[in-house]
Structure 1
């Protein structure tokens, strides 16, 4: 296999030329590790835009961040949502590579192929996550000079949105201080864990309004959610995380095992596990919010043919091997809101987009709208007064696929018939949104 290996500071770059398992014919890819701290090694994977030769210089660069924390962008985001191939290594019609250069990063360290030498090197909060990512981005834009002038967007999903907000703010500061050279164009927060409490407090009303709770169940879920609220108000965030897990169990018991990621889909086997679960709360949280991103079929792909293709994964590192430890390490930060960071981004003139799936429960749209209304941004009253605009569903002409509203540097997209993983549920609509956010439509 022919490789071009470039060593630039802490960055190792590999570009693969010939075809191999998981390689897209005629496409250009690159991947590598960045040592973001001593004992902390972060993996990234870049797909160049699949247009005409050299089109990558004329199309935006999108970095995709997964949730969890502990979910792998290079695995789940790539092969289950927006990458050029699906997990069966078949071409994806709605890949974002058709409209952008796509950079996947296994973040925070310990996620996916990223790893730490010891558990002590795992991140503890989003500030630490942002600091690590700034090291990676500085290395990336230093070595990939073609992308320094290309519009750069950060797109995210779930807990990835919380990380994206913090990263975007630190990146904005770094650009102002001239420590990173890039054309940062905006951040998009998809079904994002920006205000955890607003999500939890609206689970009951949302489920009740969709006939998934009766009056008794609504009372039980509301009582459990109020306990989370009290812990947050008292600043007991680790306790709030534990009570959040208990609230999820209460929801599952009263809804016959509703799917937190899409209320209209249900896996019978997974439901049985949920309803019989007696494990500790951290084990339950990892089962609900990390394992769905690392199902056996995806793990077999990433630890088999993809690992072989990449050729640089250390022998002692397995894809997703540290995911549970990542989640546990972030336990004390998990329930903390970052609404103030979004406010700072808007005040700094950064383009901020919020997008959410209609059928998502874990980060329901009602909760998203609540934290948006808490913004101190001067433009909020004007944004609120705007009427939303309907968007046709590209896959079903004549039917509404989404609504959106925008004012100055803030936009909100309501994606219909989609759950937590919008590109998986509504790929064509997600592509249309991508093109609109990146100003290609």
Structure 2
């Protein structure tokens, strides 16, 4: 299960695995637990918690909750096995797993994603508010199951569309804490290559492609004109058509760039047609061929890569997944249910966090990401309605160097806000530069000096 704008051609990153026999004995590493939380009647959210393997009492290390994008991409699959979990797709130990430093919680969100499921499709989330409320309900149920984490600092890390969800979730969770409806130590939210301001992202595509020699001036005019159509539709409140136009803009870019990889412009192009055979049976689900094309191009890749593992040895290991539930079985429905909300902005939620709370807010972006360019992210950040915006803009940007002395990233902070520019990375930063991602996470949660 995986989704929409959010995920790349990962076949370059994947190590294939053979028959499932013999794999089960290699899956477990360190202390872990998993299960379901009922967030609404007939709506069930799955989680997988890994306790840190650091040589300390686990309660002395933060809890990092990872939200995937999509909407409808699985945290327990993609984030876990392809990015930051303790093991890789081939079930080998991951060198730069975040579990080495923090407790790591993967949640299949929204309901219907990954192993999460609804008993009635009418219960699927149709907007960001429903998603945020479900996540607060999840946290209440999760913390009832493992109450020791009620006093552990919680950091929400999110990728792509997950960042849009995380911003409103953090606002709702903070409100619930203040109202004493939940006991939770929300400490920070980190928005990675996040779809927080879709219009700013789309309007930046032409400039980014032109600056990187992927289009010429004629191509720049075409892309900018199409991107402006997206912006105009959003301004007119035509959000469903805006999502369609967004897809048309991506298709145009594929044509004028000879198939640029949206997730990392330096990697092998993603050919949209390659996934049609995988997911062609989903055509009856979508309202248009354009929507089907987008889903197939961005989700079919993950189906081919992860389905055998998640619906085979992992499902067998977990033992709590209902027999009629398959990993990713409802992902197409999740995507379709949120199509009209896709182009909505979540900037006001970020502003609310900065203006009314002391929660640490971090935005981080990969240099090579086209879907959510650093240009687009900087644009909405520099226009935040927050007293600290101008001081942040004028603050000194600091380099982050690696062991060899090479610059890995830059960061700039003011009060409880920080922005990271991550070099040599695309949309999925931990998959591209795992060492940098780990170091950045340690800084954000306070385990390493800034």
**Taking structure 1 as the reference length, what is the TM-score of the superposition?**
0.92
Superposition map of 1:99-114 within 5 A: 99-114=101-116
**1:418 equivalent among 425, 428, 431:** 425
> Contact 1:46–1:104 at 8 Å: present in 2 too?
yes
SS of the equivalent of 1:332 reads helix
> Contact 1:194–1:338 at 8 Å: present in 2 too?
yes
Superposition map of 1:262-411 within 5 A: 262-267=264-269, 270=271, 273=274, 280-292=289-301, 294-347=302-355, 348-394=357-403, 397-411=404-418
* Aligned mates of 1:109, 1:388 — CA distance in 2: 39
> Contact 2:276–2:296 at 8 Å: present in 1 too?
no
1:116 is matched with 118
2:14 is matched with none
Offset from partner CA, 1:360-394 (integer Å, 9 cap, x none):
00000000000001101111111111110000135
2:41 is matched with 38
Asked if 1:440 corresponds to 2:443, the answer is: no
Superposition map of 1:142-181 within 5 A: 142-181=144-183
* Aligned mates of 1:102, 1:150 — CA distance in 2: 12
* Aligned mates of 2:275, 2:25 — CA distance in 1: 35
* Aligned mates of 1:372, 1:87 — CA distance in 2: 35
SS of the equivalent of 2:405 reads strand
2:80 is matched with 78
> Contact 2:272–2:297 at 8 Å: present in 1 too?
no
> Contact 2:371–2:427 at 8 Å: present in 1 too?
yes
**1:28 equivalent among 27, 31, 38:** 31
* Aligned mates of 1:109, 1:313 — CA distance in 2: 14
Task: Quote the offset at 1:22 in angstroms.
Answer: 5.0
> Contact 1:261–1:360 at 8 Å: present in 2 too?
yes
> Contact 2:272–2:293 at 8 Å: present in 1 too?
no
SS of the equivalent of 2:384 reads coil
Compared CA separation, residues 102 and 274, structure 1 to 2 (3 A): closer
Task: Quote the offset at 1:275 in angstroms.
Answer: 12
Structure 2 unaligned runs (5+)? 1-22
> Contact 1:393–1:402 at 8 Å: present in 2 too?
no
SS of the equivalent of 2:317 reads helix
Aligned residues: 417
SS of the equivalent of 1:398 reads coil
* Aligned mates of 1:101, 1:247 — CA distance in 2: 40
Superposition map of 1:134-149 within 5 A: 134-149=136-151
Compared CA separation, residues 267 and 204, structure 1 to 2 (3 A): closer
> Contact 1:110–1:116 at 8 Å: present in 2 too?
yes
Compared CA separation, residues 209 and 391, structure 1 to 2 (3 A): same
Task: Quote the offset at 1:267 in angstroms.
Answer: 4.4
> Contact 1:51–1:98 at 8 Å: present in 2 too?
yes
* Aligned mates of 1:254, 1:21 — CA distance in 2: 48
**Taking structure 2 as the reference length, what is the TM-score of the superposition?**
0.90
* Aligned mates of 1:59, 1:137 — CA distance in 2: 18
* Aligned mates of 1:92, 1:222 — CA distance in 2: 41
2:95 is matched with 93
Task: Quote the offset at 1:141 in angstroms.
Answer: 1.3
SS of the equivalent of 2:39 reads strand
Task: Quote the offset at 1:24 in angstroms.
Answer: 3.0
SS of the equivalent of 2:406 reads strand
Compared CA separation, residues 413 and 247, structure 1 to 2 (3 A): same
Task: Quote the offset at 1:266 in angstroms.
Answer: 1.4
* Aligned mates of 1:333, 1:193 — CA distance in 2: 12
2:18 is matched with none
> Contact 1:35–1:41 at 8 Å: present in 2 too?
yes
SS of the equivalent of 1:148 reads helix
SS of the equivalent of 1:70 reads coil
> Contact 2:274–2:297 at 8 Å: present in 1 too?
no
Structure 1 unaligned runs (5+)? 1-18
> Greater CA deviation, 277-286 or 364-373?
277-286
Task: Quote the offset at 1:21 in angstroms.
Answer: 4.1
